[in-house]
Amino acid sequence: MINAFRPVLLMFCAAFSSSALAHNPMCECKAIDDEQIRCTGGFSDGSGAPGVTLDVIGYDETILVPGKLGADSTLTFKKPGAEFYVLFDAGPGHVVEIDQADIEAP
């Protein structure tokens, strides 16, 4: 009897694990010019992330630019004078940090 349910159980587990893996957070930041940076956030399944928190944080852990992604899943901000990193936070297990050194120059 248990052997009859094994294929169903395997299919259920495979479907559940692939859907769990399909939503990895993704964030990319690029300098538009010497003063402006644009970050785009989303998920590995191709979905956007409008409204998700994206903060620019100083190395001393102060929030330099609090923000949320717009309807197009982007946020553009003025480059801070202090050293910083970007924190894309879509909830537990869905966090991406981008250090200023990893942001592409224009």
Q: What's the gap between Cα 33 and its chain centre?
A: 22
**Residue 18 located in a structural domain:** no
Indicate whether 84 belongs to any domain. yes
* Count of structural domains, the chain: 1
Segments forming the whole domain that contains residue 55 = 24-102
CA 14 to chain centroid, in Å, comes to 25
Here the CATH number for the domain that contains residue 45 is 2.60.40
Assess if residue 17 is contained within a domain.
Answer: no
Q: Kindly state whether residue 89 falls inside one of the protein's structural domains.
A: yes
pLDDT of residue 19: 44
Question: Is residue 46 one of the residues assigned to a domain?
Answer: yes
Specify the pTM.
Answer: 0.78
β-sheet with 53-58: strand ranges across: 63-65, 53-58, 84-89, 95-99
* 39-86: pLDDT as tens digits: 999 999 999 999 999 999 999 999 999 999 999 999 999 999 999 999
